[in-house]
Chain A
């Protein structure tokens, strides 16, 4: 077994174990920390794929931004020592059944599908390439989605302030 295989299985095991713990933990702050571990392990997978820029985005935005936001809202709205009740049996049964059935169907189709990679020479992924594509209006350019996302972020920011402000 080579070193990169060991690394992959370590990261995959971390992701699967801690994502299970995220949805089963009965202490809400612990669930948030388990989510943080899942996100950091995912950025490890991106580093394995040699996508450093996306891995950095994952670390700063997901692990840095969203988890901190979630932890703040937990501190504002819940008691830290409060333990959740066990979910109702019917609910738990429905959830687990949906998970296992859907997982089975998806894994079966993944295993059956023949993945054929292209034969074209690979593009070297670096910051310059990504920036050129992101602000390009021509072929393979992503200027329009970039602008639309910026408008969406502005709208979300204003909406968050308007909704959360006192006395509306």
Chain B
């Protein structure tokens, strides 16, 4: 563990970041900004995994592997989501959530 910083400090930071991400997910209207909120959520969960690994179970490496899997899933999710956004932009000419109300022609 790190000298002078209890585990709660890290957990508070990651919790607030997680709920900022959820708040942005609800408030925003543009699909790319919603994707950014999802990235914030995934990132805060990553902080949690690594801090638990460091403070509570320093004899194992579980947190590392979970964090790596989360990063890989975030990357593939971003790639597929952005492909979808570009496809939507071709069909609807914008990517605001209100204007996209049909899924199939």
Contact = CB atoms under 8 A, between A and B. Distances in A.
A35 B21 contact: no
Nearest to B86: A164
Interface in A100-143: 100, 102-103, 106-107, 110-111, 115-118, 120-123, 125, 129-130, 133-134, 140, 142
A110 B75 contact: no
A20 B12 CA distance: 15
Nearest to A104: B19
Interface residues of A, number: 85
B71 to A, nearest CB: 5
B97 to A, nearest CB: 11
Interface residues of B, number: 73
A116 B6 CA distance: 12
A87 B8 CA distance: 33
B76 to A, nearest CB: 3
Nearest to B7: A115
Contacts of B47: 42, 45
Contacts, number: 229
B64 A51 contact: yes
B36 A118 contact: no
**Do most interface residues of chain A lie in helix, strand or loop, or is the interface mixed?**
helix
A154 B85 CA distance: 20
B86 A156 contact: no
**Do most interface residues of chain B lie in helix, strand or loop, or is the interface mixed?**
helix
A84 B71 contact: no
B39 to A, nearest CB: 6
Nearest to A123: B59
A165 to B, nearest CB: 9
Interface string B41-68: 0010011001100111111110011011
A153 B15 contact: no
A80 interface: no
Given A2-B3, A12-B9, A58-B71, A95 B33 contact: no
22 contacts: A2-B3, A19-B17, A19-B20, A19-B21, A22-B36, A57-B71, A58-B46, A85-B29, A95-B25, A95-B26, A98-B23, A106-B18, A107-B15, A110-B15, A115-B7, A117-B56, A117-B58, A122-B59, A125-B61, A152-B72, A161-B83, A166-B90
Given A22-B24, A74-B32, A106-B18, 9 more contacts: A2-B4, A16-B20, A31-B33, A72-B82, A78-B32, A87-B29, A123-B59, A140-B61, A160-B80
